[in-house]
Amino acid sequence: MNINKISDILEYQSQTFSLDKAVTGKREDKSTYSYSTEELRQMVNRFSTGLLKRGLKKGDKISLISYNNRPEWNISDLGMLQIGVINVSVYPNISPEDYIYIFNNAKVKYCIVGYGDLLEKVLKAQPYVNSLEKIFTFDEPAICKDINGNTIESWNSLLEKEVNMKLLEDAANCVYPEDLATIIYTSGTTGVPKGVTLSNRNIVSNVKAISETMLLEKGDRALSYLPICHGFERTFVYCYLYKSIEVYYALNMETVGESLNEVHPHIITVVPRVLEKFYEKIIFSVQKSGRFRRALFYWAERISSEFDFNKKFSLWYRIKIRIAGILVYSKIKQKFGGSLKVAGTGASACPTKLIKFFCTAGIPVREGYGLTETSAVLSVNHIPSSQAMLGTVGIVLPNFDVKISDCEGIYQNGEGEILVRGESLTKGYYNDPVSTAEAFNEDGWLLTGDIGKLVKNDFGYEFIKLTDRKKELLKSSNGKYLSPAAIENRLKENFFISQVMALGEQRKFVSALIVPEFNILRDWFLKSDKDNKDDKEIINLSSVREKFQNIVDEANKHLSRHEQIRKFVLLHRSWGVETGELTPTLKLKRKNIEKKYAYLIEQMYHTGIPGS
């Protein structure tokens, strides 16, 4: 069977390798529930029929909003797409104002929400959205009526008891590969959200291309916990369904560790920050252990620093790896369930130190790259080591063409903005012709805004190496261009640092705002000072400022002179989505951060205090 539409994927699974547990969810009491391939198909058909009987038709929009991934999301999504109803994906942790903008921009007709404060957020937006007719909840509604006096119904009410195959087939036959399947609103570091339009063909071609890189068996297990509303995780879930891989959803981010030990997955997708947190927990545990265990761990960690995908290791090194695997790494591998064949990571740069550490521990981390505009994935490091390269984001998938623009005078030779075209590429932004025109050049290439170059490994494979974001380049007062990402990534290799933002636009030198990793810092600090102090007090201690000065000095050794950090400020509060410093995909909102800490920044440049 050749799939042309997203809704074909489930039928393809049914024909090629039907599963007893196609998707498995977790309730709030931590009990699990599953749907087989055939049960999932039946539920999808019941949902499609329910929508059709309520009068929904091709081109109508429904918004799905949930804090957690769940089978009901898959049923709703596939049920909508089967009859041409467009899925408007919305992040749960955005403001009511963003809901208002998105719902009005897309003309959302129905909204289905999960637990927590999501219903309240949507109800706040409803008076300002004329198109929004009905609100449903995946869970039992906590509120009976919406602001118009209409009953807020459970999601179950959309499931028709009997499938009307004639009605369903007539609607499904009017849906085509080129039809719009979804609008995914990108979070954006500035301005209002932009709705990326993706067709069935866009996403299906990407699913097929990614699936070719997944060297997994039918019936293998995937653990999913990253927000499925985001293109990255959503496309991977489609891949799992296409490859007949069992999908297990964690209840939330806090329960991922439990789920790893319950599911024993063969594949997971992670953002680098999750790997960093996992590593920090390991370090935190090691620091509390005895001297022998600490020495053993740090010996094993030093071995990992020599790792490279394409390196031919000596017999002595292989022996050391074997010993470290038995004594140290086997325990770490078990924390990931013990069965991982690959951990895919993306969304932001993953420190090379982390990839080396986890790969040496038998957890094959592979970094990839993409944008919502590319149906999520553009390039990926493959599982075979000959097709992976440290410091890169992988080999371009066959459904894309990539070239590097010539930006002479700004970047190094061979480096420039990454341009893309291909079958999985969006045609533009919904109801936004200005942004669409700005996103493409005259020849139809997407301007990604990412700076990079193409490099080859010893086996002749070509990889994308990212070096910066075009819009985030800093220009110092002496005219030199600076890459804040390169500076920040160098600092974040030290696990005493949780978050960092480099500054230097039209300044005489580079400075940085630094949020420490307080769990590790507090443990280090308490070894020499037993007094209980809060985070604000800790960062103002001379011993702590001296510690971070040493960290900055070490990072500066690996930076060119004009990139080196001359001054920094320590902050006692982390940056978050709700507080406005981060996008839902955890990118820095630089202007917001600069505005929020303007006084400290100016004080730093004029008085030079090293910590605050």
pLDDT band (50, 70, 90) for residue 413 = confident
- The CATH 3.40.50.12780 portion of the chain extends over 8-199
Report whether pLDDT(212) > 90.
yes
Report whether pLDDT(340) > 80.
yes
User: Percent of the chain scored above 90 by pLDDT?
Assistant: 55
Distances (CA, A) of 584 to 85, 182, 285, 401: 25, 18, 30, 29
- The CATH 3.30.300.30 portion of the chain extends over 474-607
Can you list the positions of beta strands (E) in 164-277? 180-186, 194-199, 221-224, 246-249, 267-270
Average pLDDT, the chain: 89
Across 146-150, 276-280, 286-290, 358-362, the highest mean pLDDT is recorded for 358-362
Report whether pLDDT(469) > 80.
no
d(CA 125, CA 108): 12
- The CATH 2.30.38.10 portion of the chain extends over 393-471
Distances (CA, A) of 499 to 346, 349, 485, 503: 17, 13, 12, 14
Report whether pLDDT(525) > 70.
no
Q: Which of 474, 492, 463, 465 is nearest to 386 (CA)?
A: 463
What is the mean predicted confidence (pLDDT) over 285-295?
82
d(CA 228, CA 237): 8
Residue 477 has what pLDDT? 58
pLDDT band (50, 70, 90) for residue 90 = confident
What is the mean predicted confidence (pLDDT) over 497-509?
84
- 366-402 pLDDT per residue, tens: 999 999 999 999 999 999 999 999 999 999 999 999 9
Residue 531 has what pLDDT? 58
Pairing of strands 379-380, 395-396: antiparallel
pLDDT band (50, 70, 90) for residue 43 = very high
Which helix H or strand E contains 271, and what residues bound it? none
3-class DSSP state of 94: coil
pLDDT higher at 272 or 384: 384
The hierarchical CATH code for the domain 8-199 is: 3.40.50.12780
What is the mean predicted confidence (pLDDT) over 98-120?
92
User: Percent of the chain scored above 70 by pLDDT?
Assistant: 94
Report whether pLDDT(530) > 60.
no
What is the mean predicted confidence (pLDDT) over 179-207?
88
Residue 367 has what pLDDT? 95
State the CB neighbour count (10 A cutoff) for residue 286: 17
Report whether pLDDT(173) > 90.
yes
What is the mean predicted confidence (pLDDT) over 560-567?
83
Report whether pLDDT(506) > 80.
no
Report whether pLDDT(518) > 80.
yes
Among 103-112, 182-191, 221-230, where is mean pLDDT lowest? 182-191
pLDDT band (50, 70, 90) for residue 5 = very high
d(CA 472, CA 589): 10
pLDDT band (50, 70, 90) for residue 98 = confident
pLDDT band (50, 70, 90) for residue 219 = very high
Report whether pLDDT(411) > 80.
no
Among 146-150, 180-184, 217-221, 405-409, where is mean pLDDT lowest? 405-409
Which helix H or strand E contains 579, and what residues bound it? none
What is the mean predicted confidence (pLDDT) over 589-607?
84
d(CA 58, CA 176): 11
Given a contact cutoff of 8 angstroms between Cβ atoms, the answer to whether 553 and 499 are in contact is no
pLDDT higher at 237 or 149: 237
Among 115-119, 274-278, 288-292, where is mean pLDDT lowest? 288-292
What is the mean predicted confidence (pLDDT) over 352-376?
93
Structure tokens at 458: 């010893």
pLDDT higher at 275 or 472: 275
Residue 317 has what pLDDT? 86
User: Thinking of the domain 393-471, which architecture would CATH place it in?
Assistant: Roll (2.30)
d(CA 137, CA 236): 25
Domain 474-607 has CATH 3.30.300.30: yes
pLDDT band (50, 70, 90) for residue 611 = very low
d(CA 110, CA 124): 15
